[in-house]
Structures are given as C-alpha cells and as structure tokens.
Amino acid sequence: MSENSQFRFGAATGVGSMPGGEVREAVKTVTGSFEDFPFLPELPARGPGADMIGRTAGMLVELYARVEPSGWRIGDRPGRDTKRARSWLGEDLDALEEYTQGYEGPLKVQAVGPWTLAAHLELRNGEVALSDPGACRDLAASLAEGLRLHLAEVSRRVPGARLVLQLDEPSLTDVLRGRVRSASGYRTHPAVDRQLVESGLRDVFEVHDGGPVVVHSCAPDVPFALLRRAGAQAISFDFSLLTERDDETIGEAVESGTRLFTGVVPGTDGPLSDPAGSVMGVRTLWRRLGLRPGLLAEAVTVTPACGLAGASPEYARAAYAHCVRAARSLADNPE
C-alpha cells in the first residue's frame, strides 16, 4: 500500500447532501451516525445558494455569481445570491463546530470540482465557463484559493479534525467526452484534452497541502485512472454503475493505495436489504480481482450511492445507520 493509505479514513460516511433545511438537525444526524468519519452536510432544499453549484460559487475568491433563469452566472460584484450562499455556509460551520467539540479524527468537507463547476457556471454571455479555456483557468484558481480559506476556517473551528476534501465531479465524464451542451442546446462543447483535465484537477488538489482528496461522481464511467494520476487519494462512486470493464482500473487503484468510497445504499427512499447483502457485490468484486479479503477494511469506505437530498429525513437516518452496519459486516466477515 502507498503512503496515501496511511491516512485513516472512517469505515463509513455520507456523500454530502441531506434532506430538509434544519442544519443543526442535519449535523446532529451526521455526527451521531458517523462517529469516526462525520462530514459537513449540505441542504439544497433551502434554495439557491444551498445547491451544490451555488454553495461552491459562494466560496470563490474575486469571482462572484448570481442566479439567472438559466442557472448561476458570473457577475461583477457580490450580490444577494453570493451573500446568501456565504451566510448559509457560515450557519453550517457554526452547527458543525457546536456538535464536534473535542472531536479528533477524519472530517470531510465537500465542494464542486473545477470541471463540473466550469460545465455549469455561466459567463456573462450565457455560455458556460467550459467554452473558454482562459475562464476555466481563472475559475480553477479562484476555486483553489476559496477552498484554501474554507479548509483553514474548518480547521480553526474543529482543531482536532484531520480534514478530508471531497470534490464533486458528476459532469467530468461529459467534459471528457464532449457532451456538455451549449446555451442554445443545439450543439455541444468540444471535449477537453485529458491531460488538461488532469492538470487542472491536480492544481486544485494541491490546495489541501498533502491532505487526502476524494473525488465523487455518481455518474457512469468514472475515469478512475485519470483521477488516480491526478493525485486523488480516494474515489467515491455509485457501485451499481460499475461494469466488468472497470475491473482492471479498480484493481490498479486498490493496489496503489487508492481508497474506494463504494456507494452501495440507495440515495432515495426504499427498502434496505440486510447490511451484509448491501456489500455482497463488493466482496464479489474483490474475489473477481483476486485481492486479499483482509484488504477490504483498509481499502473501502461504505457510503450511500449519492447524496440524500431527495430522500426523507427518516430514510436518511436509516441509510446512514445501514452504511455503518454494512461496513462492520465487511470488516468482520471479509470473505
């Protein structure tokens, strides 16, 4: 295992978003469910500025965004939308600080990654930033500085935490394959060169000063090898979307010390199987790859398949408890 694996991630955690708008209740649920790997929850039901694009846009430095009918658009100065996003993030950090007094261990914070942000955040002409290489560079630099400040603020509030930065990149595959639509909807923007994508990710990863970075995508065809080369210490994905053609890259990732955040619990309300059944596919994958069963607990963190913004609060609590029990099942019975 590589040096990256020496960081002790928790056995189970959540992805990020949760239902409802009561942040203290959400943080209480998270810290109560994941005692050894909590995270800062996101509550998009509160409205614009709490959604994933708006929340991250509020973190940007010297770039400001406002809500237009078509989505979030870069503007000249911080308006009410930016101020609202920053205010909500401040409230979230207040609640996190309250419920993590004395906590020591891994703590995860999430933000949208540079390429998904570029695929959704519009320039003044209405086209997304992805349409302009210079805008992509400026956006990534602004994001990196904003994340640096955000991580420093979380460290100040929860001094015993070892921070894990999760970057959400659900649009990354579309960026790589030229599937991001133009403002008119009649064409798509050209695919971005893979080396440029990799370099852009690496530049943002470096803001964490060697700390662990997780990249999350609940879309099909997650580019595991590219993310690993860029320096991601862990990759978070919807396990149900894997196919056997992913086997080789996943095996290489595990053997290099990359942690897998396996999304095995559905993200919306529905019946939950027994915890051992939820991770049966992970055990099957391990056997197929010929990996040592004892490596499972070292290499896997169990999560929901994606965020739980569309779930009920009751289901969210049940899903988190289920993740914890499923992770325990993997550790106790790896074969």
Ranges 193-197, 300-304, 331-335: which has the least confidence: 331-335
Tokens of 315: 């289901």
pLDDT at res. 6: 62
Query: Which ranges of the chain does DSSP label H, i.e. alpha helix?
Result: 23-33, 52-57, 80-99, 114-120, 133-157, 172-177, 194-205, 224-230, 247-255, 275-278, 280-289, 296-299, 313-332
pLDDT band of residue 244 (cuts 50, 70, 90) is: confident
Q: Answer for the pair 97, 107: CB distance below 8 angstroms, yes or no.
A: no
Per-residue pLDDT of 66-112, as tens digits, reads: 999 999 999 888 889 999 999 999 999 999 999 999 999 999 999 99
Which residues pair with residue 106 across a beta bridge?
A: 162
pLDDT at res. 3: 41
- Mean pLDDT over all residues of the chain? 94
pLDDT band of residue 229 (cuts 50, 70, 90) is: very high
Q: Answer for the pair 56, 48: CB distance below 8 angstroms, yes or no.
A: no
